[in-house]
Amino acid sequence: GAGVSQTPSNKVTEKGKYVELRCDPISGHTALYWYRQSLGQGPEFLIYFQGTGAADDSGLPNDRFFAVRPEGSVSTLKIQRTERGDSAVYLCASSLSQGNTEAFFGQGTRLTVV
């Protein structure tokens, strides 16, 4: 696609439920990043993929969060047993390679846990 696509745009879920957020990066981009942006804050790093592997998952807040990128393109961020504190905008970004400085962002998924 022309840009980074994230679905759904908005997601409302009940506390305790499981959610999946999808990111479709720009075709050919090997580096993919997930960030979380809480209200009134800047985005915070969650996880970085280079190809299919999670090269750095140091930003994941706890073991309820997990992400995959099985074929090196689309990535899914999975959150188990959602809590109200998980409510945020989840942003995905991709870049041509790890060393490339320009990261292109999607429009994010706004997750609301009620």
Partner 1 sequence: AQTVTQSQPEMSVQEAETVTLSCTYDTSESDYYLFWYKQPPSRQMILVIRQEAYKQQNATENRFSVNFQKAAKSFSLKISDSQLGDAAMYFCAYRSAYGGATNKLIFGTGTLLAVQP
Token pair of 10 as six digits:
């908005």
Smallest gap from Cβ 16 to partner 1, in A, equals 26
With CB under 8 A as the contact rule, the residue among 88, 106, 111, 113 that binds partner 1 is 106
DSSP 64: T
Cα separation, 39 vs 48, in Å, equals 22
Closest CA to 86 of 20, 38, 40: 38
> Do the beta carbons of residue 66 and residue 55 sit within 8 Å?
no
- For the segment 42-101, give every residue that binds partner 1 (CB under 8 A): 42-45, 48, 55-56, 58-59, 89, 91, 93, 98-99, 101
Q: Taking CB under 8 A as the rule, does residue 25 contact partner 1?
A: no
Interface residue with partner 1, options 1, 28, 40, 70 (CB under 8 A): 40
* CA-atom Rg of the chain in angstroms: 13
What is the closest distance, in whole angstroms, from the C-beta atom of residue 29 to partner 1 in the complex? 13
Tell me: cis bond preceding 70? Omega within 30 of 0 counts. Answer: no
Instruction: Give the interface with partner 1 as residue ranges (CB under 8 A).
Output: 31, 33, 35, 40-45, 48, 55-56, 58-59, 89, 91, 93, 98-99, 101-103, 105-108, 110
